[in-house]
């Protein structure tokens, strides 16, 4: 029998605004449903109480700019902390799987953070993954993101990381926020193929999702041989979701969960707070607990015509062919500030929709055949002309990449106001302000 851990943290006193989809009652009806069903009384279920994440665990994974004190992180730290509570319970073998039914969500929050985007400020799964690696020595983790939106934040954080496989199945970015997640995005120069994006046509329902899982996603996961599987369990693929146009049912989500068999599922989006969440959360939970979810039936019936059968099969076959055919093309750059080695350059612009500003980022990654490669990100919040720098020495870095990380920090602390060094190899973080090393956690 599975022992399933659950943390239910609806954050009833936190919202992004009265009319905002991410508001207090997002999990109100889910609470009504799961409490009335008595799921906490199932003999194999263990309810945990929420935790608060350590700021160190945040900074190991995400660079919070210009500093932690500029953000109100309370609710986000609890959503992360709760995911960590279940992660610890899993590692201690108290549970065989778990569901962090928490808000706010996190998968749009990336490697550098200037504010809230797509309702996310901290990335629940990414921070969790790096805690599991740092604290428990877990080597390989697969993330399957079943939110309707591309989890661009999670992809951003692990883009150069060969030991984290990020798979996202979502509504095509040309039709929905955040506008990314094309099948050509397959990972950085040292981690090519560790990202798999499956953008779908609007209207795909249970059948299409299950087909993609069976024929593409699960085989990819099996080939990767992860030690752990994490599901970013967004629920906005539901046929009642106000922000998206997919056609998945609650029982479809149950089946998806059954196929993925995640060690941990973390709630992401899902904004049909009446039509979808109470049912999907039940179905996912029951599937995790090994219980029959066939009785979970929405009170509304799907109305859109579903894109199913041959249409979705041939669509996915074509997409798979396209994905296979993509070849990497890297832009190499030489800059004075770069230590020895070959550095691949890219740049991106990140829009923070909640607060309405942009971040421009230049990114350099040290091409390396021994490790994930040191990363440099020079980030600028455009409206405020504020600049900040992140240097990251990856888990299991080789000596050359490690040295490159220190050299970058040394160089940039003299050049820029804010410099953060994430030393994942030695499990340390350092912050410099105006050239002086300061306590990154404030105080």
Partner 1 sequence: MASLIGIDVGGTFTDAVMITNGVIERKGKIPTNQDDILNTIISALDYLQISKAKNIETITVSTTLVTNAIMQKDLPEVELILFPGTGMKLSSLPWPVDYSVLTGVLDYRGRVVVPADQSEWQTLAEKLNKQSVKPLTAIVSKFSHRNNVFEEQLAAYLHREVPGITTALGSQSGQANFYRRSLTTYLNLAATELFQNFAYQLKMAVEARGCRAPIRVLKADGGVLPLAKIRPVESIYSGPAASVLGTLAQSNPEESYVVVDIGGTTTDIGLVLSGSPLISTHGAQIGPFLTNVRSLAVRSVSIGGDSAVCLDQGEVMLAEYRLGPAYCIGGISPTPTDALRYLNLTDYGDLQRAEEALGMLLPENQRTASDLRRTAEIIVEKMVEKIARAIEQLLEEWKTEPAYKVWEVIHHHDDFKFYIQLSGGGAPGLEAALEDRMKLRTVLTEFSEVSNAIGAAMAKPTFSWTLHLDTKFSIYRIEETGEQGIWTGPKKPHREVEDFLKELAQKQAVGLGIETDDLEKEIFDYFPLVENYHTVGQIVKGAMHVPPGVIGRIRS
For position 69 contacting partner 1 by CB under 8 A, the verdict is no
CB of 82 closer than 8 Å to CB of 50: yes
Cβ 371 to Zn ion shortest distance, Å = 3
Q: How is residue 129 written in tokens?
A: 């993954």
Looking up tokens 């099996």 gives 222
Q: In whole angstroms, give the CA distance from residue 36 to residue 30.
A: 10
Residue 11 as a binder of partner 1 (CB under 8 A): the answer is: yes
Helix (H, G, I), strand (E, B) or coil at 28: helix
- Judged by CB under 8 A, does residue 286 bind partner 1? yes
Question: Is 160 tagged catalytic?
Answer: no
Which residue number is nearest to Zn ion in terms of Cβ? 269
Cα separation of 319 and 170, whole Å?
A: 13
**C-beta closer to partner 1: residue 40 or 340:** 40
Nearer to Zn ion, 81 or 106 (CB): 106
Q: Where are the alpha helices (DSSP H) in 72-183?
A: 74-91, 124-136, 152-158
Are residues 271 and 107 in contact, defined by beta-carbon separation less than 8 angstroms? no
Q: For the CA atoms of 171, 188, 266, 119, what is the dihedral angle to 10 degrees?
A: -60
CB of 40 to partner 1, least distance (A): 8
Check residue 77 and report its DSSP letter.
Answer: H
Q: Which helix (H) or strand (E) holds 218?
A: helix 218-224
Catalytically annotated residue among 107, 108, 149, 430: 108
CB of 298 to partner 1, least distance (A): 9
**Using rule CB under 8 A, residue 303 touches partner 1:** no
CB-nearer residue toward partner 1: 297 or 384: 297
> Tokens 């990972």 map to which residue?
187
Note whether 301 binds partner 1 by CB under 8 A.
Answer: no
Q: Under the rule (CB under 5 A), what is the footprint of Zn ion?
A: 147, 149, 234, 236, 269, 368, 370-371, 398, 401
Question: Which member of 2, 16, 28, 410 binds partner 1 (CB under 8 A)?
Answer: 28
Report the residue from 184, 297, 347, 438 that binds partner 1 according to the rule CB under 8 A.
Answer: 297
Give min distance, CB of 322 to Zn ion, in A. 24
Residue span binding partner 1 (CB under 8 A) among the ranges 30-38, 118-126, 210-218, 306-314 = 30-38
259 contact partners, CB below 8 Å, separation of at least 6: 210, 213, 214, 218
Strands 428-433 and 418-423: antiparallel
- Pairing between β-strand 386-393 and β-strand 418-423 as defined by DSSP bridges: parallel
CB 378, CB 391: distance < 8 Å? no
Name the minimum Å distance from CB 293 to partner 1. 8
Tell me the window of 73-81, 157-165, 390-398, 429-437 that interacts with partner 1 (CB under 8 A): 73-81
Residue 38 binds which of partner 1, Zn ion, none (CB < 5-8 A, kind-dependent): partner 1
Query: Which x/- pattern, by CB under 8 A, does the window 243-282 give for partner 1?
Result: -------------------------------x---x---x
What are the φ/ψ torsions at residue 159 (nearest 5 degrees)?
A: -60, -30
Does 12 contact partner 1 by CB under 8 A?
A: yes
Residue 302 engages partner 1 in binding (rule: CB under 8 A): no
Nearest partner of 133 among 98, 158, 153, 110, judged by Cα: 158
Determine, following the binding rule CB under 8 A, whether residue 24 of this chain makes contact with partner 1.
Answer: yes
Residue 170 CA to residue 142 CA, distance in Å, equals: 17
Q: Where along the sequence are the contacts to partner 1 (CB under 8 A)?
A: 8-14, 18-19, 23-25, 28-29, 31-33, 35-43, 47-52, 74-75, 78, 81, 274, 278, 282, 286, 291-292, 294-297, 299
Active-site residue set: 108
């Amino acid at each position: 029998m599975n022992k399933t851990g659950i943390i239910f943290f609806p954050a009833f006193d936190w919202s992004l605004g009265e009319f905002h989809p991410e508001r207090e009652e997002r999990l109100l009806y889910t609470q009504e449903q799961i409490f009335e069903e008595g799921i906490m009384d199932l003999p194999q279920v263990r309810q945990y109480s929420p935790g608060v994440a350590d700021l160190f665990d945040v900074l190991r994974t995400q660079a919070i700019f210009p500093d932690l004190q500029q953000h109100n992180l309370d609710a986000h730290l609890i959503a992360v902390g709760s995911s960590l509570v279940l992660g610890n319970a899993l590692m201690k073998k108290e549970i065989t799987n778990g569901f962090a039914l928490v808000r706010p969500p996190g998968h749009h929050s990336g490697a550098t953070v200037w504010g809230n985007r797509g309702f996310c400020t901290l990335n629940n799964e990414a921070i969790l993954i790096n805690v599991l690696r740092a604290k428990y020595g877990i080597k390989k983790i697969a993330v399957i993101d079943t939110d309707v939106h591309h989890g661009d934040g999670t992809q951003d954080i692990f883009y150069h990381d060969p030991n984290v496989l990020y798979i996202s199945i979502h509504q095509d970015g040309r039709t929905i926020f955040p506008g990314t997640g094309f099948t050509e995005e397959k990972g950085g120069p040292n981690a090519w193929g560790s990202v798999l994006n499956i953008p779908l046509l609007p209207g795909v329902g249970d059948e299409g999702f299950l087909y993609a899982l069976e024929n593409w996603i699960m085989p990819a996961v099996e080939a990767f041989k992860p030690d752990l599987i994490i599901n970013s369990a967004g629920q906005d693929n539901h046929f009642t979701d106000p922000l998206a146009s997919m056609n998945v049912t609650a029982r479809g989500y149950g089946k998806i969960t059954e196929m993925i068999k995640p060690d941990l599922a973390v709630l992401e989006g899902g904004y049909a707070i009446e039509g979808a969440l109470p049912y999907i959360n039940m179905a996912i939970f029951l599937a995790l607990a090994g219980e029959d979810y066939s009785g979970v039936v929405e009170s509304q019936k799907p109305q859109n015509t579903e894109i199913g059968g041959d249409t979705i099969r041939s669509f996915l076959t074509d997409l798979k062919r396209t994905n296979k055919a993509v070849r990497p093309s890297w832009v190499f750059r030489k800059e004075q500030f770069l230590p020895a080695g070959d550095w691949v350059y890219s740049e991106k612009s990140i829009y923070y929709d909640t607060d309405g500003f942009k971040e421009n980022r230049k990114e350099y990654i040290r091409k390396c055949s021994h490790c994930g490669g040191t990363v440099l990100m020079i980030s600028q919040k455009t409206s405020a002309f504020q600049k900040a720098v992140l240097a990251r020495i990856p888990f299991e870095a080789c000596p050359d990449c490690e040295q490159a990380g220190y050299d970058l920090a040394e160089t940039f602390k003299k050049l820029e106001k804010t410099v953060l060094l994430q030393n994942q190899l030695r499990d340390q973080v350092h912050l410099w302000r105006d050239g002086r090393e300061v306590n990154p956690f404030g105080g």
